């Protein structure tokens, strides 16, 4: 499939008239062909009007039809073949193996949501039968199901050009819920976006769905993105990116005549607590595992371990030494964009210049454009608690170690943190009571708590929470990864005394969809 | 129990230092004893600090203990005896039978949430067992449960001084979720609020819970209310009231350093569609039922039918005549407060003066202070579609009938509406296809769709949705009545590879709580 530099508005392919966007190969600085011209308000209007038009029909597609549609998207993405991988490599600087793995993850997500759609649990069917004889007042027949929220705006993320972009988790879960999707492509990988967009556009046509189920726009976040979020047809927003970008969308959404929910996954430094018994017993292997997690993919993960908390002493000194040795062998890796590389360099420069921070170790120096030199920095709990800036995310392979005088300071450091995607405990059995004391704080601060592992690596499954209190996300009640992500795009409707002929299939007495139901308050009805 | 004019901050009773609030008997205009002095920032701070302190302990109370606590609140409210009813009558102008019924409803809600807590469905337990042998990467052990969001601010509503106030649905569902509650009492019924507050305070003590589980503050919405919503310890807000009040709280919450969810139930005109076959066959009985719903409780219900849509013609003329006759016998009823009465009079005056609106019937004129004279007004679909003001809620026993030239205009009127709590269809079998065509629009517009009934009367059950798109509520994904209201105050947390000794009870392999679980994607695990 050829990349033509075109937006996809329903069934059409359209050249924009706005400012030109080009993919840039961060490994060389080379600007890639073709040019993509950004969209204008008229393009936003058209995509949103088509989405609104498609909504009532798409949201009532049968479970099987909608599941098959998601599976077709996965197949069409695979059918793009190596062209997709080659283009994504050029636009992101990410290596082939990573992108092939990410393609598998993207397809796996679509297939998981196909299974979720088929199960029908998300319909959350609740039936309260009529009680005509009840005194003093009879009870009506009341039935509840979940329906789709409406057309959803999705913003592609830079750091997962496949799995969190055009056909990523937000798009997959919104389509699964029955919401048409209008994607604002990330300007860092427009060619990859067009290819994947065409795969979805083809799937819409293959399934005979209304064309407005999917559109893909190019343009800047402040123009096309902001106009999209402000459009009256849009009823929810999915976003993965920076804190400033996410909070800007939250403000636009809150100030609309009809405010809408924004699901923004933004900023997290993912604290890792090294508990004393574990640190003493196996500090060396922990240090090596930690550096592996820190340096993976140039640290460009939302769940990158940006903060380590441990008690000072010989065991920690040994940990630092092992980590520094491991870091010294970490090759510099190309970052996703020149902008991301520049922000990383500024962030680590500020750490280096901070009076209370020391450098504990660095990776191999950059040997080409936009390369990330990994780094581990050290400060005291006292200094950390005194300076809010030290808790800000530096996107990339850098981490700050907080030396505590005693483990009593662990909870204070934890309480001081803003909301996080993850919190990690490295522990041995002797650390159990200390961990038990920390857990309530960590539960309040993070969406996922993990033991004896590292936060990078987010399983796509039923139990995953990739979310957390602000600013990790804009809405701690949700996850953007895993099957529960579908719940973001649903709302309940109650049907009272509807004639059987008008009842939605999910709510009919005979349970033709075979879904899980709560019948008069009892499970399994 | 004596009413002392005191706020309840944790286990203490405190006299405020702020501006004096007094209950006013709307039937007489009499100011009631005692005086209540409003709270200040320091009171907000103390209540919130105690709530934050209580949170980690309260949210981990066992299911049985928390359910029993809710039941104790219900018993303590009943134990207040007739003093509560007499005081609520004096402060609200509502008749005894209504308030006794509302007390029963309030206790019923608390008991429903006790049953909901015991069932444990709300924990939404999801277990994805480890797959150590999976290639290329093993899967960790992942377990998800829902935990309480944090301390919740609840604003009492004027129109249900028991069921939507201090111990109303918001408080009951927040406590059920494990959230401490700080109530800002409605200034229209401070004595009722204090009595109920003391019943809750006593239940907290009886159950041996930390005192911060409940506090009750007095003061104005713009001072104490705004400061409460802005307080960093508060993690969600429950509100029932005016659109201006609700949107003001939404703005405060969105502009906090850490934005929080606001569940505001605000404004709805609850359209009632009279479908032609039903209107022709039984317009007279529909007219009588409609007037009964319109006039009940002086129309002071969120679900009051403020809009009727029908096709012009002889059947409609007969409906209007019957409705006017029925209305002429409706006695004027005392409204809740002088302010509500004044707003109602202004609203109906504006309708009367509107060039495109005619009065079709009125109730008996007011014979005492603050009485509501019911009214039915008529306009054309054309005029309605041309003037946004005609779709604004008038809180009280007034309704506007939209005459359509044909049933084709029904969908246009429906599309024109803002979000609603309810939409009603009066229909016969011959109306089925017309109703089928309207349903998708109504599903997008309303939280509850009902047939051949009236929207007043909101059953407290599993399937109820008392919610809907903005401005009916601030968050269409939720309901403020019924068991699903608990979901507003929860967020998911994922536990990865936790040692069994650290796993919350709900997530342990043996399922000691006996809750519904999703095990490896299968129900009933």
Asked if A494 and B429 come within 8 Å (Cβ–Cβ), the reply is no
The yes or no reply on domain A39-120+137-266+476-488 and CATH 3.30.365.10 is no
Cβ-nearest to B493 among A144, A465, A502: A465
Asked if B149 and A477 come within 8 Å (Cβ–Cβ), the reply is yes
Task: Let me know: does B107 contact B78? Beta carbons within 8 Å.
Answer: yes
Tally of CA atoms within 13 A in the half-sphere of B263 that contains its CB: 26
Task: Let me know: does B196 contact B77? Beta carbons within 8 Å.
Answer: yes
Interface-testing mutation among B492, B515, B517, with chain A (most A C-beta atoms within 10 A)? B492
- pLDDT tens-place string over residues B165-185: 999 999 999 999 999 999 999
Percentage, residues of chain B above pLDDT 90: 98
Asked if B484 and A126 come within 8 Å (Cβ–Cβ), the reply is yes
Start-to-end CA span in chain B (Å) = 49
Calculate how close chain A gets to B108, using CA atoms only, in Å. 14
Among the listed residues B302, B372, B393, B404, the single catalytic one is B302
Alpha helix ranges (H) inside A358-503: 381-386, 408-416, 432-445
pLDDT at res. B1: 76
Cβ-nearest to A259 among B463, B470, B496: B470
- Strands A307-311 and A271-274, by their bridges, are parallel
- CATH class (in words) of the domain with range B271-451: alpha beta
Asked if B476 and A491 come within 8 Å (Cβ–Cβ), the reply is yes
Calculate how close chain A gets to B157, using CA atoms only, in Å. 23
- Name chain A contacts of B121, Cβ cutoff 8 Å: 518, 523
Calculate how close chain A gets to B27, using CA atoms only, in Å. 28
Among the listed residues A48, A91, A102, A302, the single catalytic one is A302
pLDDT at B66 over 80: yes
Cβ-nearest to A494 among B137, B464, B477: B464
At B37, list the tokens.
């002095």
Cβ-nearest to B443 among A251, A427, A493: A493
Task: List CB contacts of A168: < 8 A, sequence separation 6 or more.
Answer: A106, A109, A154, A156, A157, A160, A162, A240
- Name chain A contacts of B101, Cβ cutoff 8 Å: 136
Round to whole Å and give the CA distance between A16 and B278: 52
pLDDT at B437 over 90: yes
**How many other β-carbons are positioned within 10 Å of the β-carbon of residue B35?**
14
| pLDDT level of residue B222 (50, 70, 90 thresholds) | confident
For residues A15-35, one letter each, b for 16 or more C-beta atoms within 10 angstroms of the residue's C-beta and e for the rest, the string is ebebeebbbbbbbeeeebebe
Asked if B258 and A418 come within 8 Å (Cβ–Cβ), the reply is yes
- Name chain B contacts of A462, Cβ cutoff 8 Å: 126, 128, 144, 518, 520-521
Using 70 as the pLDDT threshold, list the residues of chain A that sit under it. 525
Round to whole Å and give the CA distance between A57 and A179: 10
Calculate how close chain A gets to B515, using CA atoms only, in Å. 10
Round to whole Å and give the CA distance between B62 and B58: 9
At B7, list the tokens.
């706020």
Round to whole Å and give the CA distance between B330 and A304: 68
CATH homologous superfamily of domain B40-129+140-266+476-488?
Aldehyde Dehydrogenase; Chain A, domain 1 (3.40.605.10)
Asked if A493 and B448 come within 8 Å (Cβ–Cβ), the reply is yes
The rounded mean pLDDT for chain B is: 97
- pLDDT tens-place string over residues B202-219: 999 999 999 999 999 999
pLDDT at res. A525: 61
Asked if B493 and A143 come within 8 Å (Cβ–Cβ), the reply is no
Asked if B459 and A491 come within 8 Å (Cβ–Cβ), the reply is no
Interface-testing mutation among A120, A492, A503, A522, with chain B (most B C-beta atoms within 10 A)? A492
As a whole number, mean pLDDT of residues B419-437 equals: 98
Question: Least CA distance to A420: which residue of chain B?
Answer: B493
pLDDT at B285 over 70: yes
Cβ-Cβ contacts under 8 Å between A and B: the total is 224
Asked if B453 and A477 come within 8 Å (Cβ–Cβ), the reply is no
Prior bond of A468 cis (ω within 30°): no
- Name chain B contacts of A149, Cβ cutoff 8 Å: 476-477
pLDDT at res. B134: 95
- Name chain A contacts of B115, Cβ cutoff 8 Å: 521
pLDDT at res. B525: 61
- Name chain B contacts of A490, Cβ cutoff 8 Å: 477
Asked if A498 and B250 come within 8 Å (Cβ–Cβ), the reply is no
Task: Let me know: does B159 contact B188? Beta carbons within 8 Å.
Answer: no
Asked if B518 and A469 come within 8 Å (Cβ–Cβ), the reply is no
The angle formed by the CA atoms of residues B225, B231 and B232, to the nearest 5 degrees, is 155
In the block, residue with structure tokens 């549609």: A69
pLDDT at res. A470: 98
Asked if B463 and A516 come within 8 Å (Cβ–Cβ), the reply is no
Q: Closest by alpha carbon to A67, among A123, A121, A113?
A: A113
Asked if B493 and A446 come within 8 Å (Cβ–Cβ), the reply is yes
Alpha helix ranges (H) inside B235-313: 243-254, 276-295
In the block, residue with structure tokens 């005088």: A405
- pLDDT tens-place string over residues B14-27: 999 999 999 999 99
Asked if A491 and B501 come within 8 Å (Cβ–Cβ), the reply is no
Interface-testing mutation among A51, A115, A436, A463, with chain B (most B C-beta atoms within 10 A)? A463
Calculate how close chain B gets to A62, using CA atoms only, in Å. 15
- Name chain B contacts of A496, Cβ cutoff 8 Å: 448-451, 453
Cβ-nearest to B128 among A144, A435, A461: A461
DSSP B208: T
Round to whole Å and give the CA distance between A97 and B155: 55
Q: Closest by alpha carbon to B299, among B263, B264, B348, B265?
A: B348
Cβ-nearest to A147 among B258, B427, B443: B443
Calculate how close chain A gets to B360, using CA atoms only, in Å. 29
- Name chain B contacts of A521, Cβ cutoff 8 Å: 115, 119, 461-462, 483
Calculate how close chain B gets to A472, using CA atoms only, in Å. 11
At B334, list the tokens.
């005392």
- pLDDT tens-place string over residues B93-140: 999 999 999 999 999 999 999 999 999 999 999 999 999 999 989 999
Distance of CA A148 to the CA centre of its chain: 20
Cβ-nearest to B490 among A147, A477, A496: A477
Percentage, residues of chain A above pLDDT 90: 98
- Please state the ipTM of this predicted complex: 0.98
Calculate how close chain B gets to A89, using CA atoms only, in Å. 21
pLDDT at res. A55: 98
The angle formed by the CA atoms of residues A294, A297 and A301, to the nearest 5 degrees, is 70
In the block, residue with structure tokens 């709530």: B51
Asked if B479 and A495 come within 8 Å (Cβ–Cβ), the reply is no
Among the listed residues B265, B393, B409, B418, the single catalytic one is B265
Task: List CB contacts of A217: < 8 A, sequence separation 6 or more.
Answer: A7, A9, A39, A43, A44, A47, A182, A183, A184, A185, A224, A228
- Name chain B contacts of A60, Cβ cutoff 8 Å: 440
Cβ-nearest to A449 among B450, B459, B495: B495
Round to whole Å and give the CA distance between B144 and A113: 18
In DSSP notation, B370-400 reads TEEPPEEEEEEHHHHHH-GGGGS---SSEEE
Domain boundaries, given as residue ranges, for chain B: 40-129+140-266+476-488, 271-451
Asked if A56 and B444 come within 8 Å (Cβ–Cβ), the reply is yes
pLDDT at res. A9: 98
Start-to-end CA span in chain A (Å) = 49
pLDDT at res. B221: 87
- B433 a catalytic residue: no
Q: Closest by alpha carbon to A495, among B504, B483, B423?
A: B423
- pLDDT tens-place string over residues B183-197: 999 999 999 999 999
Backbone dihedral angles phi then psi of residue B181, each to the nearest 5 degrees? -125, 135
- A265 a catalytic residue: yes
Calculate how close chain A gets to B412, using CA atoms only, in Å. 15
């Amino acid at each position: 499939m050829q990349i033509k530099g075109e937006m996809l508005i329903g069934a059409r392919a359209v050249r924009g008239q706005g400012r030109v966007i080009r993919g840039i190969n961060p490994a060389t600085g080379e600007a890639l062909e073709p040019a993509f011209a950004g969209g204008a308000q008229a393009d936003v209007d058209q995509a949103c009007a088509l989405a609104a038009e498609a909504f009532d029909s798409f949201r009532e597609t049968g479970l099987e039809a909608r599941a098959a549609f998601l599976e077709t998207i996965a197949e069409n993405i695979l059918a793009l073949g190596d062209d997709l991988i080659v283009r994504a490599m050029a636009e992101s600087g990410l290596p082939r193996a990573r992108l092939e793995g990410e393609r598998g993850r993207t397809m796996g997500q679509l297939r998981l949501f196909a299974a979720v759609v088929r199960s029908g649990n998300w319909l959350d069917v609740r039936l309260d039968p009529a009680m005509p004889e009840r005194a003093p007042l009879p009870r009506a027949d009341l039935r509840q199901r979940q329906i789709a929220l409406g057309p959803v705006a999705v913003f592609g993320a830079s750091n997962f050009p496949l799995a969190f972009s055009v056909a990523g988790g937000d798009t997959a879960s919104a389509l699964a819920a029955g919401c048409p999707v209008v994607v604002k492509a990330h300007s860092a990988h427009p060619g990859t976006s067009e290819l994947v967009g065409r795969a979805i556009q083809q799937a819409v046509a293959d399934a005979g769905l209304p064309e407005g189920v999917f559109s893909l726009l190019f343009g800047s976040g402040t123009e096309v993105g902001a106009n999209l979020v402000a459009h009256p047809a849009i009823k929810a927003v999915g976003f993965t990116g920076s804190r400033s970008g996410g909070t800007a969308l939250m403000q636009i959404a809150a100030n609309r005549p009809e405010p809408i929910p924004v699901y923004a996954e933004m900023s997290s430094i993912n604290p890792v607590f090294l508990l004393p018994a574990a640190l003493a017993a196996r500090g060396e292997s922990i240090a090596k595992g930690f550096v592996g997690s820190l340096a993976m993919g140039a640290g460009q993960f939302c769940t990158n371990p940006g903060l380590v908390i441990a008690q000072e002493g010989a065991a920690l000194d040994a940990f630092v030494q092992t980590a520094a040795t491991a870091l010294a062998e970490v090759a510099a890796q190309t970052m996703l964009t020149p902008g991301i590389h520049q922000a990383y360099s500024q962030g680590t420069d500020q750490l280096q210049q901070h009076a209370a921070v020391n450098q504990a170790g660095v990776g191999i120096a950059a040997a080409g454009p936009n390369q990330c030199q990994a780094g581990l920095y050290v400060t005291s709990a006292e200094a950390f608690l005194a300076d809010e800036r030290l808790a800000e995310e530096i996107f990339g392979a850098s981490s700050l170690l907080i030396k505590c005088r005693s483990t009593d300071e662990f909870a204070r450091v934890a309480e001081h943190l803003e909301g996080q995607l993850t919190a990690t405990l490295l522990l041995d059995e002797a650390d159990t009571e200390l961990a038990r004391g920390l857990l309530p704080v960590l539960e309040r601060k993070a969406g996922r708590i993990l033991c004896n592992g590292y936060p990078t690596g987010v399983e796509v499954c039923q139990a995953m929470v990739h979310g957390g209190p602000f600013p990790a996300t804009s809405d701690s009640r949700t996850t953007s990864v895993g099957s529960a992500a579908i719940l973001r795009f649903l709302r309940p409707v109650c049907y009272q005394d509807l004639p059987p002929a008008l009842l939605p299939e999910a709510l009919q007495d005979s349970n033709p969809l075979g879904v899980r139901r709560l019948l008069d308050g009892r499970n399994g009805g």
